[in-house]
Structure 1
């Protein structure tokens, strides 16, 4: 596997990352960014000469940009002559000579006895309101843990190890100025790194820390310098590793629209207290990360490429998470920012994150659904022929705002009117998303108290789904076909696949939306049957709607080619993978076997469809062999591919597809993410799979859908 890609290392809920991994590129610590930070990361070692012999040059991992001349040249002429300092320059290690292993919650680089380990652990959490302060501090501390180490047992020379950062645009401050018990540096008050002063050999701060001619003050530092590091020493014949804690801290109100601050500020007073906690609890976090790593390693039904995709995706998910405290309501406020776009709780992502979140923090699903109901729901009218009742019903917006700016109630930052493509309304899909997300939460957690509290919302959603089929009950066909008046008279609703062509862009009479609505009705059957509701009349309505949708979809199958059209109108001949995406919800809840028996024709035809689309030139790219979301678009989304793969293997286990659609495709998908052109953005969702370039959705959380694969061996 290639090691030439960035990875985000992030604590839960801090919307902050330490990004590192792309050779000859900057990364480092960043807060609320749309991509990697712009810091040089210095990590490496040098062997000391001893007995009068010269020390060897620093050997550094390739995560910095080599300067044309040392920074001191900007102040003096001492190094201004080109090449004058070459003899003192550190050696940037060849990336191909450095071993890297990305695991589920750690990232390890090694070279000639040196190791850099980064831990970004996670575990199951409960709502902060229910936790003691001690437990909450462990769960939500904004820290990432590092270790630098060296196995020097076979050498007669001592070794020095270094970890540090450099950033020309930000001045570093020595932590000892405010915290004598911490050795390290900070970028202002918001982020920094620290080690135990008793473990380090010395600190470095200078215009360029690796040039010995640099000026220093009485402490051996130079406060003007934008580069800082801590140095450790490992004696001859010894082996040692040293913890370093990276911390983030943003105080005060962080948002508009809703007044909220970071939750961790209720637990920690400042950056220094975060760093102290990180160092004190280093062993705890290391063990937690190692436990996650072992869990993924034990999943022997997954190949190495699938495990890598899960690990990389999970790291990116945590980097987009933000746990706030609503200062008005005095309760937690959960946000997942949409990667580079930084939209708040985009519902298209919330619905796909639900499976991972139910495993690790189920309370955040309820937290987000509540806010959609309380602030981001609305009622609309329908664009229907004259003479038909236009009332639509309840639905939900696409998102809650952008970059910590919460939008007004019932509005999003994305959706516009009077258009038919990208940025139009997603009313049908977001209605389905609330039903599928809420139904999955209720049936998986058996949270009957919440179910009772949302009785009216579930009923309103069922009514709205029926009306978007047709306001007249006698004219319902089982397919959603009427656009919201929010589109205006000349606009049309779209789906989450907004940047694709009409095969997935149009919501009306769409195969993907139809199967997802079928799944929503199948969940509503069970929700209304729950004793906590006992809505027998609505249960019967849901059963009838599920049956009606199954029949309507099956009737659109084209026997001449053995596939469904992507859109049931205008002679559309595009073919799509997400024909089966919606089935993930009843499958997750153990309902799909009953549906397969009840609607055998539909499942038989969906199986044939998948068998025939997974061919070269259809939904396997003719050039690369990657899976394509649509036969008529190069733009493929890895988060959605992961769901289709899971459904294919789990719901249609006996289906024979082209052999290259199996493990070889996993390798193709992983290698694309590991190329420098894509890997510079950590995890990228939208990729042109023919030309292997990023199309958008960089630094993205949604590919965590790949964690569904972990369920396949259970």
Structure 2
């Protein structure tokens, strides 16, 4: 099952949720294998294939000509008459055109010749470790994924030898488990194993594939390659389940001392692998149910691909830690940048987390308050991030933000404050956690006061930069784009997002704290100011300029982005044409109709969505949010408008080297930044939040 893709040469990150580890594979002729503490594709070989009878072996093309570790030449005199050298391995790669690749929500599958190779890495919901039963946590937080190998020799009259293995391993697992596991490991950090079977053997040699297919050589423990050799009789189809796992023990972070949460549940790598293998049937059945749900949904094949590809990368970036006090600390690392809990990603990833792990949103919100909040001259604000590469920054600081700047690396004080507010509103409205609201309402009130103080002329829009900028200017999450979306002050995108924060605060307090008349009225007035100001900026040409300064005339799609928050929070009347802000919503509808044209915000080459008319730099995660708003709130129902096929090809072709890449060039999708990214899970909006679209009368 799964969605077959026509272009099969692209990387996928198959993350182990909460472990900051993944199996990376998919580029033809490139490296593949397990990584831990990062998301960069490895430069190692992954060996998967078979030999039928005496024929030439066939191998999937995941093993480049890369030497890992020493070989026999390091141990002998090169001039000696007898050298224990091996001839070059004799095998062929399956031609790319003969390989079928399909993706699903839980993983992916490759088929070639008599071989099927399936990866299963996503299993859905994750329970709150504070309250969940330990046995459930061992299932859901186990740092492992599954490989299912199937060799179909049912119609052949000769025996078949199958292999699965990797470069970079240094020890057979049968040594440390007395034969209860067969497989190999890299130290104590990562490895793969299966349960013992009379038809499966461990093979370790300078060239493990050659050794596996050519005789019964003894295990050479000096080598750095290991494979499982699987014997399949004539007329037989054999399925083998292999677990891949990781393990890091002890303190792994600085700035705040934490350990991996799973190390409190498992004592070592061997226990992780053994537990996974004994739980195989249940976990694979759970994954199959996930896949069934997406397959039976009404989403297009391209949307199914975009969501599945995104989920795999998101999981690869997640990291669940445990503090020295025993508290869980949830981190999402920012792809290639490795920044920890970047708040302008959190607000977008919350849509996904509220479906599968809502407790992580609360964990993030609390952690931002304790580590990332600060007070500048105008009130409370929040940092961009909490550190990088497992190194936490001091309280109230980030690794990104610096003074005296007006472009990349400047402060995002205002937008990050909006992000915390909007994430809090999403969490409370979707979970009904009234206790958390009661405990934190004063923080929401402080954020409201801070937002209003930064609106100097009382038009509902931020026009004062934080004094932390020290003469520079604040920027937005679109940090490397031009002024149309990069500048925070008097920015249309942030103006609508501000409106959204004001109306969400008002609605939240009306629902849960109706006695807070002052807060409700204060938020209502600022929302009205913002809506009125934005509408007043509409040009005769039928759109609102991106920045309300310097006669700016850029056209942007994310003018509509802020509408998503009250809608998802459960207050659709606030974004209805018949609601209290109906005129405002109609203005944004007209704006989108004007800008969503070829050569403006539809790329003239690819036809894909450009977030700004004045830049080819575009973000897929944000495209997905704005598409959702366009269809479900503003009534743009023509499926041809959304260009899903273009956006899917961007990832499979233009950014093939970098798995789920967020920031791409709109002409062909080649990567421009934000590679190996988690934020593309905004695509969950299509799957879990789709409502009945309104009819559009354009």
Structure 2 length-normalised TM = 0.94
Which residue of 1 is the match for residue 554 of structure 2? Answer: 574
Q: 1: CA distance between counterparts of 2:362 and 2:82?
A: 60
Which of 667, 676, 679 is matched with 2:645 structurally? 667
CA drift at 1:530: 3.0
Q: 2: CA distance between counterparts of 1:423 and 1:138?
A: 40
Which residue of 1 is the match for residue 21 of structure 2? Answer: 16
Matched, 1:693 2:694: no
Which residue of 1 is the match for residue 165 of structure 2? Answer: 164
Which residue of 2 is the match for residue 257 of structure 1? Answer: 255
Q: Does structure 2 retain, via aligned residues, the 8 Å contact 1:207–1:214?
A: no
CA drift at 1:126: 2.4
Q: Which runs of 5+ in 2 are unaligned?
A: 1-5, 693-698
Matched, 1:562 2:542: yes
How is 1:48-197 mapped onto 2 (pairs within 5 angstroms)?
48=53, 55-66=54-65, 72=72, 85=87, 88-167=89-168, 171-180=169-178, 181-197=180-196
Q: Does structure 1 retain, via aligned residues, the 8 Å contact 2:458–2:526?
A: no
Task: Summarize the Cα distance change of 1:84–1:405 in structure 2 as closer, same or farther, 3 Å threshold.
Answer: closer
Q: 2: CA distance between counterparts of 1:138 and 1:352?
A: 27
Which residue of 1 is the match for residue 433 of structure 2? Answer: 447
Which residue of 2 is the match for residue 459 of structure 1? Answer: 445
Which residue of 1 is the match for residue 695 of structure 2? Answer: none
Q: Does structure 2 retain, via aligned residues, the 8 Å contact 1:574–1:630?
A: yes
Which residue of 1 is the match for residue 374 of structure 2? Answer: 378
Q: Does structure 2 retain, via aligned residues, the 8 Å contact 1:620–1:661?
A: no
Task: Summarize the Cα distance change of 1:216–1:256 in structure 2 as closer, same or farther, 3 Å threshold.
Answer: farther
Matched, 1:7 2:12: yes
Q: 2: CA distance between counterparts of 1:135 and 1:296?
A: 24
Q: 2: CA distance between counterparts of 1:499 and 1:213?
A: 50
Classify the secondary structure of the residue corresponding to 1:530: helix
Q: 1:123-180 CA distances to partner (integer Å, 9 max, x unpaired)?
A: 222210111211110010000111111222222222221100013xxx5111112112
Q: 1: CA distance between counterparts of 2:66 and 2:189?
A: 27
Task: Summarize the Cα distance change of 1:528–1:84 in structure 2 as closer, same or farther, 3 Å threshold.
Answer: closer
Which residue of 2 is the match for residue 387 of structure 1? Answer: none
CA drift at 1:85: 3.9
CA drift at 1:562: 0.9
Classify the secondary structure of the residue corresponding to 2:10: coil
Task: Summarize the Cα distance change of 1:210–1:452 in structure 2 as closer, same or farther, 3 Å threshold.
Answer: same
Which residue of 1 is the match for residue 496 of structure 2? Answer: 515
Classify the secondary structure of the residue corresponding to 1:419: coil
Which residue of 1 is the match for residue 468 of structure 2? Answer: 486
Which residue of 2 is the match for residue 284 of structure 1? Answer: 282
CA drift at 1:210: 2.5
How is 1:246-325 mapped onto 2 (pairs within 5 angstroms)?
246-300=244-298, 302-325=299-322
Q: Does structure 2 retain, via aligned residues, the 8 Å contact 1:343–1:401?
A: yes
Matched, 1:342 2:338: yes
Q: 1:409-441 CA distances to partner (integer Å, 9 max, x unpaired)?
A: 111110000110000010110110011000111
Matched, 1:428 2:433: no
How is 1:240-251 mapped onto 2 (pairs within 5 angstroms)?
240-251=238-249
CA drift at 1:615: 1.0
Q: 1: CA distance between counterparts of 2:40 and 2:82?
A: 33
**How many residues get paired?**
679
Q: 1: CA distance between counterparts of 2:423 and 2:82?
A: 62
Q: Does structure 2 retain, via aligned residues, the 8 Å contact 1:343–1:402?
A: yes
Q: Does structure 1 retain, via aligned residues, the 8 Å contact 2:13–2:39?
A: no
Q: 2: CA distance between counterparts of 1:68 and 1:378?
A: 50
Q: 1:176-197 CA distances to partner (integer Å, 9 max, x unpaired)?
A: 1211211000001100000112
Classify the secondary structure of the residue corresponding to 2:221: coil
Matched, 1:543 2:524: yes
CA drift at 1:668: 1.0
Q: 2: CA distance between counterparts of 1:442 and 1:102?
A: 34
Q: 1: CA distance between counterparts of 2:691 and 2:533?
A: 34
CA drift at 1:248: 0.3
Q: 2: CA distance between counterparts of 1:440 and 1:370?
A: 14
Greater shift, 153-162 or 629-638, is seen at 153-162
Task: Summarize the Cα distance change of 1:37–1:654 in structure 2 as closer, same or farther, 3 Å threshold.
Answer: closer
Q: CA RMSD in A?
A: 2.3
Q: 1:684-709 CA distances to partner (integer Å, 9 max, x unpaired)?
A: 11111225421111110000101111
Q: Does structure 1 retain, via aligned residues, the 8 Å contact 2:460–2:498?
A: no
How is 1:595-614 mapped onto 2 (pairs within 5 angstroms)?
595-596=575-576, 597-614=579-596
Which residue of 2 is the match for residue 384 of structure 1? Answer: none
Task: Summarize the Cα distance change of 1:139–1:534 in structure 2 as closer, same or farther, 3 Å threshold.
Answer: farther
Classify the secondary structure of the residue corresponding to 1:185: strand
Classify the secondary structure of the residue corresponding to 1:118: strand
Which residue of 2 is the match for residue 226 of structure 1? Answer: 224
Q: Does structure 2 retain, via aligned residues, the 8 Å contact 1:563–1:613?
A: yes
Q: Does structure 2 retain, via aligned residues, the 8 Å contact 1:299–1:713?
A: no
Which residue of 1 is the match for residue 511 of structure 2? Answer: 530
Q: 1:648-667 CA distances to partner (integer Å, 9 max, x unpaired)?
A: 010012567xx7533xx211
Q: 1: CA distance between counterparts of 2:419 and 2:81?
A: 61
Q: 2: CA distance between counterparts of 1:598 and 1:533?
A: 19
Q: 1: CA distance between counterparts of 2:514 and 2:664?
A: 44
Q: 2: CA distance between counterparts of 1:637 and 1:334?
A: 25
CA drift at 1:121: 2.4
Q: Does structure 1 retain, via aligned residues, the 8 Å contact 2:44–2:64?
A: no
Task: Summarize the Cα distance change of 1:532–1:280 in structure 2 as closer, same or farther, 3 Å threshold.
Answer: farther
CA drift at 1:200: 4.2
Q: 1:592-628 CA distances to partner (integer Å, 9 max, x unpaired)?
A: 3344321222111111111121111111111111111
CA drift at 1:533: 6.5
Q: 2: CA distance between counterparts of 1:504 and 1:551?
A: 21
Q: 2: CA distance between counterparts of 1:655 and 1:238?
A: 51
Task: Summarize the Cα distance change of 1:75–1:672 in structure 2 as closer, same or farther, 3 Å threshold.
Answer: farther
Q: Which runs of 5+ in 1 are unaligned?
A: 49-54, 382-391
Task: Summarize the Cα distance change of 1:288–1:699 in structure 2 as closer, same or farther, 3 Å threshold.
Answer: same
Q: 1: CA distance between counterparts of 2:181 and 2:67?
A: 33
